[in-house]
Structure 1
Amino acid sequence: MESSNTRVKRLSKLLSLNNFEQRDELEEKLENGFNMVQNRTSGLPEKESYDVLLQMVGETKVFESITGGLLYGLLTEPQNAQKYFSILSLLARDGWFCALCNVNMILFELYPRMRPEVREQIVYFFREAIKSNVPKIDNVLINYLRNANDGSDLKETCALLSAVAGMLNDHHAWLSELKPKASLIPVTLLTFTRFICDLSSFNAFESLRTQMVNVCHWLLTERFLDCAQLGRDLVLALMRVSKIPQFAAIWKQLLYNPNKLGPNISVEELMNRMCPHTFPLYRISVAMQRKLEFIFAKVKPGTHERHLDWFKKQYLSNPEAGSLRSELVRCAIFLSCGETPQVGQEMKAIFIASMFPQTNSIMEQQWCKLHLLWDWFCYDPANGGHVLIEPAFHVLRHLLHVQPLLANSLVDFMTRMSYELHPQLQQRITTSVTNSFKFLIDHSILGSPSVIFDNPVLQKNVRENFRDTFRGLFRPPQTVQTHSSAGGIEPGEVSLSDVEIALSESGSAVTEDVVSMDSAVVEDNGSFDEEFGLSCEEKLMTLLAAVKEEFREPIENLSGVRNLDNDMRCEMMQKLLSSIFDNDELLDEEQIELLSECLLLVFRKDIRSRKPLSEGFLDTPEVLEEMFNQPLYVIFRNLCLTPDSDATRQLLLSLIAEMCERCSSISYLLLFFTSSNRRDQNDTAIAAYTDLCRLLDSSPIQQIVSDLQQCHVDDYVLFAHLIPYVYEKFATEAMGSVELMKLLSHSLDGRQIADLIGEMVRENISFFRKDSFLPIVSASLTWETTAQFVFWQLVHAEGVPVDWILQMISKLQYPKHSEAIAQVYIMLQRMDREPNMGLIRNLLSRTPSDMFTVNCLKLLIKDPDYAARVAELLSNLIDKLIQSGDLLPIHSKGKRPAQRYVCLDQLFSHLDKFRQSCLSKDSHVAEAFLARPTLQEAFTVARAAEKVSSLRIRYSELFAVMEILSDDNAQSARSLRRTKTSKKMTDVSDDESKSSKRKRQKLIVDSDSD
């Protein structure tokens, strides 16, 4: 046991550890190897030491230990470093493989915590290794350079950069002899160009900038083909430093005389080349890469806040982090998403989107956008690279419903950069962006283009500029065939001359009054829908071959009438359902899966082309009847009208469940159908949705949250329309759901908030109940500021009393929970009931580390009636604490104080802060409060109590102020009594004088009469 304790307490020679950190296993392994070397070579000269060690290295394990031990000695004993390196180079019979592996492990695992003197020895090792031309030392140097990209202290980072720049400037010959396509050259260029810009505002590092500029200029002029491995990322790196004279000269060569740099080199050719996946990873440190991989692979949306907060605090809290955010954006694009790509892509989008608001300047945010969209500007379908364009789309879709202003900014940036980035290549860049969108559409990643192009969140001018720039995505239809509609338009063909095409003015390809998407079929062989039509038709035919004959013909009939009016299609759908009901014994699990896939292919156009509801949508019976006149809703209607006892109901549920598994919009469309104002089927409709949830192995509230999340992305007007229905019909579950409130807080806009508050005012819905309110408040503390403001707007609108959050008051921390603290102030300001002891205890139980309690007390005493009550409660509490002996905080390990524990020391501390900050103001409210008799009596008791003597000394100024206010109060009371007495005596004197006059007058009169 003693040896174990000794081992734990042994100081680390490699790392700077605090008292609670254990030594690293790798360090112990290296140290054990060093001890072995010391035991065998202690006191021997270098040659004899080499001979002894040479005899020991016969076994592989011993060889690994010895090389590790020599490396440990080199790092921890600078005075013997040359000796250890010489022996290491003589023993390196494996081409330095073992030694370099150990160096890599040290750089990966230990470098961030390494002692400064050990870091200097790392530099010494690299210098000696370069001089000795150690094989593959350039690859290890890359891992050393990566540590500059961890967002750590700027001085430490610059020391590392200076060391590398010095080594490379001193060893041009070694650089020249590196094999072609050596990775060190492009990685050095990427890292140095970033820091050359970041350090431009620091005069102290001007010499370092000059060193890095010299290295980069040499690499570009002498080893340009190696730099060209970066492909389009080389152009991105050179853009960052284009204003520096040395790089401006490179740009001129690249633009006007590229043959000097290399054969077949040009800006366009470089932009056509994809950057290999390995190079962007070197933009960040190994520790950052591991954390990002964990976030993308293991973290699920909704649980990501604490991980992102930790990441920001760990790596991005330094003001000097500079362009690290844009580097993270670029690196995140290339990282894999683990075993669940869909969740990983969503987490990647959330992470990248979180980088934009954190930027320190507009310029930095623009670089983040450029790094995100760079592959869109360079995309060529022939070269592939579609994986690199998907993240930007997911980011844009995420921002559209989380941060609409930022989404507009990103779309506007994409549009402007298409013709401003490089005017000579404007057409090529525009085509690249168009091809990027086409790829996403063709591979069902984007779905309908209207998800982005027609999203109502996009500002009109942004949408118009986008449409005008990327015309290839909005080819006008050549022929439009219309069918009879409610407007009385007769069937016929409308040519382009009959329809006004005005992309830049109206943002619509066809005048809305003439034809709509629901009543028209675009017959354009080059359109996206027709391209999908062919693949869908082929897939449908393949699936129908495996469908039972009894169902095959109805499906073919339904598919055959998909271009006819909806009445005919609904009739065909009902016939298919009748076939299913009549032949239910033929339906096994495989047949249900086949039917669901066939129906989704048939309904694909309905689902993909469904436009978001208009802003002024009203669910009148006429509007709903027209909307629900589609085959999909025929299935929903049959389900809702089928009683529980009917066996066919389970078949319909199974069919819809299979469709939901393949298309996430099906379930929220069913929720929409159940919310229709068909009162005669409302109860059975709700039962249909809850039964579907059960079949999907999900609780109703979990499924509702999932459906609303998807609905908000697809149709934010329908999303707002469903919320009142959810809180009305699923009130118990909805009011207790943290995830649902979080979704609303992150998604609602101003109009939707106003509409929901109107629903509350009319007493149709309620958002909160007392028993589930605290968990929601607690969870909201980690949300974004805007989301918290939306949440508290709903809280104030419902008139939630401050009593509901009493237990949270002691947990709020300033400034970490600034948003919630501000809302508590507002609740206290609007409080319409007298303060109680629970509120006072919770306020006083907080440690006096901030002004929260003082501010709350000040708010409570603004009303004279409340002030009297607060003074009475404080007085009672002081008396009680003196009697019970609760004078000082409890620090015993065995006894943990309750959350509402209050001692007299805390109470006096808060009042002392109140005294310091609130007295001598114009209103004199604080003086009037402290001078109240009930409070003065309590302090009188405290003065007289012997056990309070230590606190009286500690808070002597508070007691002095209370005594002064007591004397002033007594003096003013005596003055008031004297004034009243004097007035009373004056009044009596006046009365006697008047009586005397009346008597004299009476006597005189009597005398006269006599």
Structure 2
Amino acid sequence: MASKLTVRLAHEAESSLEITLREAFCCLEPQLKPPFPLIIPTQEQYSLLNKAILYGILCEPHLLKIHIKHLHGVITDGYGYFTSIIVIIVNEMYRKLVDSAKRQLIWIAREMVDVAAVGFNDLLVALLRQIVAGDSSEENLWLCYEMVTLFSSKWDCLLEEGSSVLTGALYVFLRLLSDDCRVSNAPNFESLMKMEKDFCVKMLREKFNLCLKIGRDLLRLLQDLVHVPEFRAIWKDLLYAPSVFGVGEFMDISKLYYTRTPKWYFLLRVNPQMESQLRFLLTHVKFGSQMRYQVWFAKKFLSAPEKNAVLIDIVRFICCVHHPSNDIIHSDIIPRWVVIGWLLKSNMENYVEANMKLALFYDWLFFNEKLDNIMNIEPALLLMVHSIPEYIDITNSLLEFLFLLLDNYDLERKEIVLRGLSTSLRTLLRKGVVESVEVLTRCDKLSPNLKERLAELLSGCSGIVDNSRIPTSQML
């Protein structure tokens, strides 16, 4: 039987979820047309009815109004079960759905926001995760357009519900803009980019109190957009006129420097399939046996040069989200630094490489042991140390970038960055991540200048870190 819901290759099996939904629909099809039965369903009947109605909405667009009216009439749990099924469909089946079903999903998402359905935040997050960085295909641009339209048109409703997903949307669209704005002579991007800019600027100018929840990675994304006039003005205000944002507690940009970004923001830019494969690689694959998995991953997710923009997000995911257990750390499973080193050797544009390195070192710049997780900064040092001597070019490149940051990142607050880098090294050494950094300071293949500067940085590691500039509210 040809599927009404998904497109599959001849050798691909039908998903169990699709079978379940279709069977529910076929079983209850006579009851899905008016007049609807006036009965109180059991829990099992209720679940079956939710699945049947959802399948009808996705596969029978011409009967949409009938199905949605039926749904509103039978709901007893605030749409919680109905929404949870949709989230699973988006996470597991979105790429294979027929176009009409994708359009229906967006329509359902709008409807769930309107009725303040239980779990509508999870649904919007699931859809945001399906937008692929660096993908200029018509399908991907359509999804991006639909989602930014949804967030713009449902602005008041989302604010009223106190939805944290607004800040998630800001994170996503800022990240997408940094790639989209580099596409030249692409008129099909202009309308979309304007909508993304308008949404992001509105969030930053009108709801900056919410934007603060993103933490320091908000600044990482914004500084990649300083060449865009709208965001250049915002960046200047962040540095020199923070009071214009109307948030009493925000008196200096350092407040954001010292606010770590919650993990779920990083997940927004890694789709579920990619996350699953990365976690498998870092949880089950033995060091030395990873080549065929890496080749498969690259073919699946990095086949086109423009898709390499997602490498930035993958590095941030590995550093800040995937923290292996002690058992895995002390096993023969492939370490995180190995995967990052492999990704750094990919063929990419210069701006992607620079942003990958920034993603790797970003938490070093503002690290405080009372606030931050050592697992976020561990991969960078291990990669530099273990790249000697076979991949000395990586060690040189990373150290050069680290000192470039020290010399150029926010010169007016240079002491913050110096303190962050010194604290990072001191903490990594004290916790035994590496026994010493003599492998770096005594390496003949490193430039004398780099070794000298590293020794200078290490000489300050024994001092007490001054936390006086860290807001008391952040000392958690």
Alignment TM-score, normalising by the size of structure 2: 0.91
Return 5+ residue gaps in structure 1 as ranges: 1-9, 476-525, 528-1010
Residue deviations 1:124-181 (CA, integer Å, cap 9, x gap): 11122233343431321111110113776632211110000111222221132131xx
Question: Quick check: 1:377–1:432 contact (8 Å CA) kept in 2?
Answer: yes
| CA positional deviation for 1:396 | 1.7
| CA positional deviation for 1:224 | 1.7
Q: Tell me the residue number matched to 1:264.
A: 249
| CA positional deviation for 1:285 | 0.4
Residue deviations 1:457-500 (CA, integer Å, cap 9, x gap): 32222222333455414x8xxxxxxxxxxxxxxxxxxxxxxxxx
**1:222 matches 2:206:** yes
Q: Tell me the residue number matched to 1:727.
A: none
Question: Quick check: 1:198–1:322 contact (8 Å CA) kept in 2?
Answer: no
Q: Tell me the residue number matched to 2:15.
A: 24
| CA positional deviation for 1:322 | 4.3
Question: Quick check: 1:376–1:432 contact (8 Å CA) kept in 2?
Answer: yes
1:464 aligned residue (452, 457, 468): 452
Task: Work out the number of aligned pairs and report it.
Answer: 457
2:262 aligned residue (264, 276, 300): 276
Residue deviations 1:832-851 (CA, integer Å, cap 9, x gap): xxxxxxxxxxxxxxxxxxxx
Q: Tell me the residue number matched to 2:220.
A: 236
In 2, the alpha carbon distance for the partners of 1:232 and 1:286 equals 24
Q: Tell me the residue number matched to 1:366.
A: 354
SS of 1:165's equivalent? helix
Question: Quick check: 1:329–1:352 contact (8 Å CA) kept in 2?
Answer: yes
Q: Which amino acid aligns with 1:427?
A: E
In 1, the alpha carbon distance for the partners of 2:57 and 2:376 equals 44
**1:357 matches 2:345:** yes
Q: Which amino acid aligns with 2:420?
A: S
- % of aligned pairs identical? 23
Question: Quick check: 2:266–2:316 contact (8 Å CA) kept in 1?
Answer: yes
- What pairs with 1:534-933 in structure 2 (closer than 5 Å)? none
The structure-2 alpha-carbon separation of the partners of 1:85 and 1:424, relative to structure 1 and needing over 3 Å to count, comes to same
Question: Quick check: 2:283–2:333 contact (8 Å CA) kept in 1?
Answer: no
SS of 1:18's equivalent? coil
Superposition CA RMSD, Å: 2.0
1:389 aligned residue (377, 380, 384): 377
In 2, the alpha carbon distance for the partners of 1:453 and 1:90 equals 71
In 2, the alpha carbon distance for the partners of 1:27 and 1:420 equals 54
Q: Which amino acid aligns with 2:172?
A: T
| CA positional deviation for 1:219 | 1.5
In 1, the alpha carbon distance for the partners of 2:18 and 2:133 equals 22
In 2, the alpha carbon distance for the partners of 1:305 and 1:164 equals 37
1:340 aligned residue (328, 338, 344): 328
**1:442 matches 2:430:** yes
Q: Which amino acid aligns with 2:6?
A: L
**1:197 matches 2:189:** no
Q: Tell me the residue number matched to 1:183.
A: 164
SS of 1:148's equivalent? coil
**1:163 matches 2:150:** no
Q: Which amino acid aligns with 1:183?
A: S
Residue deviations 1:39-59 (CA, integer Å, cap 9, x gap): 224xx43xx22xx1x51x521
The structure-2 alpha-carbon separation of the partners of 1:214 and 1:123, relative to structure 1 and needing over 3 Å to count, comes to same
**Higher relative contact order (CA closer than 8 Å, sequence separation 6+):** 2
Question: Quick check: 1:166–1:211 contact (8 Å CA) kept in 2?
Answer: yes
Q: Which amino acid aligns with 2:164?
A: S
Question: Quick check: 2:106–2:146 contact (8 Å CA) kept in 1?
Answer: yes
The structure-2 alpha-carbon separation of the partners of 1:460 and 1:240, relative to structure 1 and needing over 3 Å to count, comes to same
| CA positional deviation for 1:311 | 0.6
**1:294 matches 2:275:** no
Mark the structure with the bigger radius of gyration. Answer: 1
- What pairs with 1:93-112 in structure 2 (closer than 5 Å)? 93-112=76-95
2:96 aligned residue (106, 109, 113): 113
Q: Which amino acid aligns with 2:214?
A: L
Q: Tell me the residue number matched to 1:451.
A: 439
SS of 2:140's equivalent? helix
Q: Tell me the residue number matched to 1:872.
A: none
The structure-2 alpha-carbon separation of the partners of 1:102 and 1:297, relative to structure 1 and needing over 3 Å to count, comes to same
Question: Quick check: 1:16–1:115 contact (8 Å CA) kept in 2?
Answer: yes
Question: Quick check: 2:385–2:437 contact (8 Å CA) kept in 1?
Answer: no
2:47 aligned residue (46, 64, 67): 64
In 2, the alpha carbon distance for the partners of 1:225 and 1:139 equals 22
Residue deviations 1:827-869 (CA, integer Å, cap 9, x gap): xxxxxxxxxxxxxxxxxxxxxxxxxxxxxxxxxxxxxxxxxxx
In 2, the alpha carbon distance for the partners of 1:239 and 1:449 equals 31
In 2, the alpha carbon distance for the partners of 1:309 and 1:159 equals 29
Q: Tell me the residue number matched to 1:422.
A: 410
Question: Quick check: 2:84–2:119 contact (8 Å CA) kept in 1?
Answer: no
**1:131 matches 2:114:** yes
In 2, the alpha carbon distance for the partners of 1:322 and 1:302 equals 24
Return 5+ residue gaps in structure 2 as ranges: 465-476
Question: Quick check: 2:21–2:55 contact (8 Å CA) kept in 1?
Answer: yes
SS of 1:383's equivalent? coil
In 2, the alpha carbon distance for the partners of 1:195 and 1:392 equals 25
In 2, the alpha carbon distance for the partners of 1:304 and 1:96 equals 43
Q: Tell me the residue number matched to 2:68.
A: 85
Residue deviations 1:319-361 (CA, integer Å, cap 9, x gap): 2214200110001112122541234885211111111121421
The structure-2 alpha-carbon separation of the partners of 1:86 and 1:112, relative to structure 1 and needing over 3 Å to count, comes to same
- What pairs with 1:959-998 in structure 2 (closer than 5 Å)? none
Q: Tell me the residue number matched to 2:469.
A: none
Q: Tell me the residue number matched to 1:325.
A: 311
Question: Quick check: 1:280–1:331 contact (8 Å CA) kept in 2?
Answer: yes
In 1, the alpha carbon distance for the partners of 2:333 and 2:460 equals 27
| CA positional deviation for 1:290 | 1.0
In 2, the alpha carbon distance for the partners of 1:324 and 1:76 equals 33
**1:15 matches 2:15:** no
Question: Quick check: 1:369–1:413 contact (8 Å CA) kept in 2?
Answer: yes
In 2, the alpha carbon distance for the partners of 1:125 and 1:326 equals 32
Q: Which amino acid aligns with 1:350?
A: V
Question: Quick check: 2:286–2:333 contact (8 Å CA) kept in 1?
Answer: no
In 2, the alpha carbon distance for the partners of 1:144 and 1:426 equals 39
In 2, the alpha carbon distance for the partners of 1:451 and 1:342 equals 21
SS of 2:353's equivalent? helix
Question: Quick check: 1:293–1:336 contact (8 Å CA) kept in 2?
Answer: no
**1:377 matches 2:399:** no
In 2, the alpha carbon distance for the partners of 1:27 and 1:222 equals 43
| CA positional deviation for 1:232 | 0.9
Residue deviations 1:714-747 (CA, integer Å, cap 9, x gap): xxxxxxxxxxxxxxxxxxxxxxxxxxxxxxxxxx
SS of 2:330's equivalent? helix
Question: Quick check: 2:366–2:419 contact (8 Å CA) kept in 1?
Answer: no
SS of 1:381's equivalent? coil
